[in-house]
Amino acid sequence: MSEIEKAYALPKYKPFFMSLLSDDEGDVYVRRTPPVNIEEKRSVEFDFFNKEGFYLYKIKMSILPRIIKNGLIYRQEWDAKEGLFFIRRYKVKNWEKIKEEILDKINLVRMSESLNLRGMASFNQNDALSDDTP
């Protein structure tokens, strides 16, 4: 056993998720526990469920959102120079398209329930987010 392993005793199993976030429409974002390997560049991963509990997307972002509302994502940032926290706002550029795809996916999930099928899709932050802070 290495000295690092002795100093930081890790549990045998890690939790599946770290936190839950809900948007203004009642959808739920389950933040996954990141990998233990700290050398990898970390992104924040969420499993996205609609308000009815259907799994819809796996979302990967380089930011940790605090609030998701009306196609906007808000996060808290620390300005060490000023010694203050501030709120940064990001606009989801394809919000209407995502909402439309969610409705289509919900209909597919409902139709496939009798067959026990679940489709998967991905949300790519690089294609969908722009900094919208005034």
Q: Tell me what percent of the residues of the chain surpass a pLDDT of 70.
A: 74
pLDDT band at 115 (very low <50, low <70, confident <90, very high): low
Per-residue confidence (pLDDT) for residue 119, from 0 to 100: 45
Per-residue pLDDT for 39 more than 80? no
Name, in order, each residue with C-beta under 8 angstroms of 84's C-beta and a sequence gap of 6 or more. Answer: 78
What's the N-to-C CA distance of the chain in angstroms? 52
